[in-house]
Amino acid sequence: MKRILLLLLVFIVGSAGEVLAASSIYGPSGLIAMPTAESLLYKEVQISYDYLKYSSNAADQSFYKINMGSFKGWEIGVVGGSKPAEGVFVNAKYYLMSDNKRFPFSIALGFQDLASKSDTSLYLVASQKFSFGLAGHLGFRATFGTDSVASQLMGGVEYFVNGPLSLVAEATGEKRDFVVNLGVRYLVLPDVMLRFSVLNATGVGTAGSPYAFGVSYSTLL
């Protein structure tokens, strides 16, 4: 199954893109759960809210995020809600490289949930636009627990069906335990985006496959 998913990802990424920076569920701009190297504009502020509905006995979750494109290639943001339980955390992303070509390639280094006791993570991700409305993303994340460090690979694609509508798919994990998330994003207004996602679509583990509903509002200061 893992080989099939990887081959499918390579095939899609090699065939086409266009990318729109939008908040991920857990904070920084990205796809569904994984961050990307796509950036918010300088002085662009994005306010987002996501609600996760579980079909299992797990409690539903909600997240609110505020991200801002800051000076010298930084994106700074905060995330709060029912999780993280420890309070509001800070996210920071720095764009190491980005070109101005028609189909640009970019690399970003980021920190997520800074000051968390068990969920602070460091990630490195690369994003590439292609022709025919597709963008590919590939990265690595290390999460620092109380007495251990967990690592995982991240990969995803976004395909623009038309101007405001895009389809999103991503896979994150390590060894044979990869979680696949699928989603749809729709730009209803130039500054308002609606999102719908199915997390853990392949049913890995016992948490089930929650649905995520989200909305983002962007504006320039």
> Hunting for tokens 């948490």 — which residue is that?
207
What pLDDT digit, counting tens, does each position of 4-18 carry?
A: 333 333 333 333 333
* Residue 107: count of CB within 10 angstroms of its CB: 16
What pLDDT digit, counting tens, does each position of 65-122 carry?
A: 999 998 878 999 999 888 666 678 999 999 998 777 777 899 999 999 887 877 889 9
* Residues whose CB falls within 8 Å of the CB of residue 87, separated by 6 or more in sequence, listed in order: 80
In angstroms, rounded to a whole number, what is the distance separating the alpha carbons of residues 145 and 79?
19
In angstroms, rounded to a whole number, what is the distance separating the alpha carbons of residues 100 and 220?
21
Of 5, 6, 7, 19, nearest to 187 by C-alpha is 19
Q: Residue 147: pLDDT above 80?
A: no
Tokens of 58: 């797990």
What pLDDT digit, counting tens, does each position of 151-197 carry?
A: 899 999 999 988 789 999 999 987 777 899 999 999 999 899 999 99
Omega into 210 within 30° of 0, i.e. cis? no
The full set of domains in the chain, from first to last, is: 2-220 (2.40.160.40)
Q: Residue 136: pLDDT above 50?
A: yes
In angstroms, rounded to a whole number, what is the distance separating the alpha carbons of residues 52 and 174?
24
What pLDDT digit, counting tens, does each position of 20-65 carry?
A: 578 899 889 999 999 999 888 889 999 999 999 987 677 888 999 9
In angstroms, rounded to a whole number, what is the distance separating the alpha carbons of residues 94 and 184?
27
Phi, psi of 10 (to 5 degrees): -65, -40
pTM of the model: 0.83
In contact, 77 and 67? CB cutoff 8 Å: yes
In contact, 159 and 16? CB cutoff 8 Å: yes
Share of the chain above pLDDT 90, in %: 51
> What pLDDT, on the 0 to 100 scale, is given for residue 14?
36
In angstroms, rounded to a whole number, what is the distance separating the alpha carbons of residues 25 and 84?
12
Kindly state the average pLDDT of the residues 141-159.
Answer: 89
In angstroms, rounded to a whole number, what is the distance separating the alpha carbons of residues 113 and 118?
9
> Which residue has better confidence, 132 or 172?
172
